[in-house]
Amino acid sequence: MKVAVGADHAGYRMKDELAVCLKGLGHEIVDFGTHSDAAVDYPDIALGVARAVASGAADRGLLVCGTGIGTCIVANKVKGVRAALCHDTFSARATRQHNDSNVLCLGARVIGPSLAEEILRTWFGAGFDRGERHERRVRRISEIEDDSGPNC
């Protein structure tokens, strides 16, 4: 898969480590930065990654900031993106299976590198549980984004 990765100054070290892991798993990386401790604004980085996923330029996205929250909020503003903040492997698996999430958000100030890698491997290893109820719910998310369908 082609994976768009991005982080702010709080998350770039973890992002770089996880990019190495993703390459080892055979994925191609498109890196939206940042690359140093110099402070940058996470919305701009997150927007680049989210747009890459939404446009199909990338298959998945990975965002890392201090908490993972800021980048997750931004990514979910972009139509077609289902970003999930995960700090445990149960959520990482469940959000792929139930939500078909396409962007993973992590907080480098919340979890350590080993757990982050485990979450990453779990998220990339899990597939969407196709079937009536999960597909219906994900379709409903798209309807809400499009302002279409009943009660929109």
Interface residues toward ligand RB5, by CB under 6 A: 8, 10, 42, 65-67, 69-70
CB 27 within 8 A of CB 51: no
27 flagged as catalytic: no
Set 9, 65, 86, 105: catalytic member: 65
* Complex with ligand RB5: residue 86 or 100, whichever CB lies closer: 86
- Which residue bears the tokens 């994900």? 138
Strand partners, 99: none
Task: Give the shortest CB-108-to-ligand RB5 separation in angstroms.
Answer: 8
Residue number closest to ligand RB5, CB atom: 70
Q: Half-sphere exposure (CA, 13 Å, Cβ side) for 25?
A: 19
- Structure-block tokens of residue 80: 């077609």
Q: Which residues contact 90 (CB under 8 A, 6 or more apart)?
A: none
Nearer to ligand RB5, 3 or 10 (CB): 10
Looking at beta carbons only, is 28 or 41 nearer to ligand RB5? 41
C-beta of residue 50 within 8 angstroms of C-beta of residue 103: yes
Catalytic residue selected from 21, 27, 87, 98: 98
The 10 Å Cβ neighbour count of residue 122 is 20
From residue 11, alpha-carbon distances to 16, 68, 82 in Å are: 9, 9, 20
| Smallest separation (angstroms) from ligand RB5 to the CB of 66 | 3
- Is residue 98 annotated as a catalytic residue, yes or no? yes
Rounded to a whole number of angstroms, the minimum distance from the CB of residue 9 to ligand RB5 is: 7
Q: Kindly tell me which of 42 and 123 has the beta carbon lying closer to ligand RB5.
A: 42
Q: Closest approach of Cβ 103 to ligand RB5, in Å? A: 15
User: Which residues belong to the active site?
Assistant: 65, 98
